[in-house]
Structure 1
Amino acid sequence: MSGFSKIAKRFADGNLIVQILIGIIVGAIFGFWGNASGSEFADKILNGISVLGNLFVGALKAVAPILVFVLVATSIITKEFGEAKGMSKVVTLYLIGTFLAAVVAVAASFMFPVELVLKGVETATMSAPQNVIDVLKDLIFKMVQNPVQALSTGNYIGIITWAVGGGIAMRGCSSETKKVFVDVSEGVTKIVRFVIRLAPFGIFGLVAISIHETGFAALAGYMKLIAVLVGAMLFVAFVVNPMIVFVVTKKNPYALIMTCVRESAVTAFFTRSSAANIPVNMALCKKLGLREELYSISIPLGATINMAGAAVTISVLALAAVNSIDHITVTFADALLLSFISAIGACGASGVAGGSLLLVPLACALFGINNDIAMQVVAVGFIIGVIQDSVETAVNSSSDVVFTAIASETMK
């Protein structure tokens, strides 16, 4: 094995979180050096480094529409929801929890608005529709756009519509055809994993050029964004979920909540994968004495559609993009519709680390924000993803057990 191959293998096998942290630190050092130097030589070096960030954003922009279409269509075509008693209640709780998480995120973004330093917002001409009729009309026209054109232009509303419609139409196809869809989905997911594997280089370039051009302004925006995201997720985990438990069971919710935090959320925080945390959740459900015929279906299903943390991420980042463009105003109707869009989008979030970030453009499209600006926000999401994605996964995965437990409790 050549020296380059050994280095590439060590990088591929390395801890992505550590690598991203190194990228952030080294990028910040280069950025502050360029800022302090102010020389033409430093400008040339930083402009060269920025190419890494531009390539990373470009790769995300290229793969995101295909990923959303394939994941949503494959999920509908192949998903077997099962006939276990109580599943309808679990699914209802999943959807309610995800929607309420989106509402919390929208409220938090209004109370603590975040602005990001993005390129091209000065010349942006988009604006939010003036009333709910305009919003619905715009949505309908986007829904019926040619699917090829929707994919090429990043029209996520149209992509979701065609994916759902195609998935429903293909649910009766043969098992061999379903296997093809699964294989295609796995192939696209591998491409996404490869792109995300290159995140340390892209983030290095993005942080370096951002700090070089804006100094502390970019870092201040990142810190505030992390605070709003984590604050909203913790509110969901320790206020919203307990309220749902109490309403359904009429019992003190915190014994169950704290058990799920200790034995599910902590593990999910470090794995950053709801799918990887399925065995942990299954073991916890068994320990809690829940009905096996219920949790054997609800836990794997929850890993794909119970995405309260993802709904928070999508909503907060979309509104951060809106706040970064001065002339866009958001009405109550826009905010409510964003909550629905974020909840629906979160249910189709990819199983890979950072998968929810690739659905941010779906929410941005509601306000007419183009793909170029939306993907810059996605890139910012990867910069803060060391914290955001860990907390998001912890909320997502622990909620699976919480809702399964209260559904099982009501069946006794």
Structure 2
Amino acid sequence: MKNAIRKWNQISLVKRILIGIVIGIALALTVPDAAKWVSVFGSLFVGALKAVAPVLVLFLVMHAISKHRSGHKTNMKSIVALYGISTFLAGFVAVVASFLFPVTLSLAPGAEDVTPPGGIVEVLQTLLFNIVDNPINALLNGNYIGILTWAVLLGIALRNAADTTKNMLGNISDAISKLVKWVINLAPIGIMGLVFEAIVTNGLSALLDYGKLLAVLLGCMFFIALVINPIIVYINIRQNPYPLVLRCLRESGITAFFTRSSAANIPVNMSLCEKLGLDEDTYSVSIPLGATINMAGAAVTISVLTLAAVHTLGIQVDFGTALILSILAAVSAAGASGVAGGSLLLIPLASSLFGIPDDIAMQVVGVGFIIGVLQDSCETALNSSSDALFTATAEYAKKRKQNKVVKMTA
């Protein structure tokens, strides 16, 4: 048994995940009733990731800032700029695609039980209240803006603490990181359960009526992941971007696709950044921050579904107004971490830009929930994988500039 486990662990994690996916699909198609117990593994896996992620973020960020050396740059400005550029361009791509391939919807009620934010002020107000949230409450509810705020403040307060205190924080961080590795090692079994549950519960038949809408949504997301993001990376590192892009999609995007949670994927991205040899002082902050504000996929969802409602109602919109939509979508998506329901509940906010009534906008939200099986999975995969991608890009760009300076002075 030990030899079998050892050989299994020697196989790359991606290959093991693919094996889990195949087994999950096979069980769902052949013995869906007899294998219902398999779905428990998926719930346990996501639950374990969500449980460990807040504690991991708190101690990693606190430890990184407490031991931060004066004058040591962390590239956070560059990373935040990359997050913002990517999110805006995602909204812009979605607007262009919606004009090139207009989609109309057969609207029907289906989202009466959810309440959207009343406006951009409410979104930003929620964001600010998340910042001053009680730390215990933030940990319990997975409020990463609040967790980050407390971790940064405590880290700054502990910068003059004794070395023994900092070493203790480091030991706790290492122990939690070890737990995370154990959880991630169970990803193949967890994803097997998630795939099984998704196919048995939802199937694919419910998505056929919305094929064109899905094609525009997913087409935009793939275009951003495989064209826009590589261009951004190339401009910064001046090397072939695809090895890095594809590795982030493979090692981060796959797990994010099935967990459908950027928060649950934080430990996966932390592990990927460690493998890439990135600066822990940087990625311990940039990864949880990216899970909150780096929302290219959400910007696509908001823009495409809003313009689908516009086309359905026959509203004439000039491209300038639609461009404002891409800016609004980017800002809203970045500040939506505290809004229950994620990107879909920001559709009424964006729809108000075109005078669309809330009752119509909420029907569009209902359509979003129907296609959420694929939409939300691809959105999360794009959002989460680009957190690690842009963290690595900023560090590689910094090294390129340093090497250039060394060559010029030599």
If the length of structure 2 is used for normalisation, what is the TM-score? 0.62
| Alignment: residue pair count | 327
Are residue 97 (structure 1) and residue 69 (structure 2) matched? no
Closer, same or farther in 2 for the Cα pair 1:228/1:92, shift >3 Å?
same
Describe how 1:23-42 pairs up with structure 2 within 5 A: 23-34=20-31, 42=32
| Residues 193-248 of structure 1: per-residue CA shift (max 9 Å, x gap) | 111111111111111121122223699999988765553234444433455x5xxx
Indicate the SS of the match to 1:6: helix
CA contact (8 A) 2:66 2:155 kept: yes
Uncovered stretches (5+) of structure 1, i.e. residues with no partner: 35-41, 114-121, 246-255, 282-298, 342-362, 371-375
CA contact (8 A) 1:50 1:208 kept: yes
CA contact (8 A) 1:98 1:311 kept: no
CA contact (8 A) 2:59 2:172 kept: yes
Closer, same or farther in 2 for the Cα pair 1:309/1:134, shift >3 Å?
closer
Q: Which of residues 64, 67, 73 is equivalent to 1:75?
A: 64
C-alpha distance in structure 2 between counterparts of 1:47 and 1:132, whole Å: 43
Aligned to 2:338: 366
Are residue 17 (structure 1) and residue 14 (structure 2) matched? yes
C-alpha distance in structure 1 between counterparts of 2:215 and 2:23, whole Å: 18
Closer, same or farther in 2 for the Cα pair 1:312/1:65, shift >3 Å?
closer
Letter in 1 for 2:295: S
C-alpha distance in structure 2 between counterparts of 1:199 and 1:382, whole Å: 18
Q: Which of residues 226, 232, 238 is equivalent to 1:240?
A: 232
CA contact (8 A) 2:57 2:284 kept: no
Closer, same or farther in 2 for the Cα pair 1:397/1:24, shift >3 Å?
same
C-alpha distance in structure 2 between counterparts of 1:204 and 1:265, whole Å: 25
Aligned to 2:128: 140
Are residue 54 (structure 1) and residue 51 (structure 2) matched? no
Indicate the SS of the match to 1:366: coil
C-alpha distance in structure 1 between counterparts of 2:136 and 2:291, whole Å: 27
Describe how 1:253-264 pairs up with structure 2 within 5 A: 257-258=238-239
Aligned to 1:356: none
If the length of structure 1 is used for normalisation, what is the TM-score? 0.62
Letter in 2 for 1:130: G
C-alpha distance in structure 2 between counterparts of 1:383 and 1:134, whole Å: 23
Closer, same or farther in 2 for the Cα pair 1:60/1:301, shift >3 Å?
closer
- Deviation, 1:22, is 0.6
Closer, same or farther in 2 for the Cα pair 1:259/1:165, shift >3 Å?
same
Describe how 1:133-212 pairs up with structure 2 within 5 A: 133-212=121-200
Describe how 1:230-379 pairs up with structure 2 within 5 A: 230-241=222-233, 257-258=238-239, 273-278=272-277, 315-316=295-296, 333=328, 335-339=330-334, 365-369=337-341
After superposition, the CA RMSD in angstroms is: 4.7
- Deviation, 1:171, is 1.9
Indicate the SS of the match to 1:274: helix
Letter in 1 for 2:231: V
Closer, same or farther in 2 for the Cα pair 1:382/1:302, shift >3 Å?
same
- Deviation, 1:384, is 9.2
CA contact (8 A) 1:20 1:200 kept: yes
Letter in 2 for 1:277: L
Uncovered stretches (5+) of structure 2, i.e. residues with no partner: 99-109, 253-271, 310-324, 343-371
- Deviation, 1:20, is 0.4
| Residues 85-108 of structure 1: per-residue CA shift (max 9 Å, x gap) | xx58x5543432233223334545
CA contact (8 A) 2:130 2:338 kept: no
Closer, same or farther in 2 for the Cα pair 1:304/1:57, shift >3 Å?
closer
Letter in 1 for 2:160: G
Identity %: 25
C-alpha distance in structure 1 between counterparts of 2:239 and 2:137, whole Å: 48
Aligned to 1:214: 202
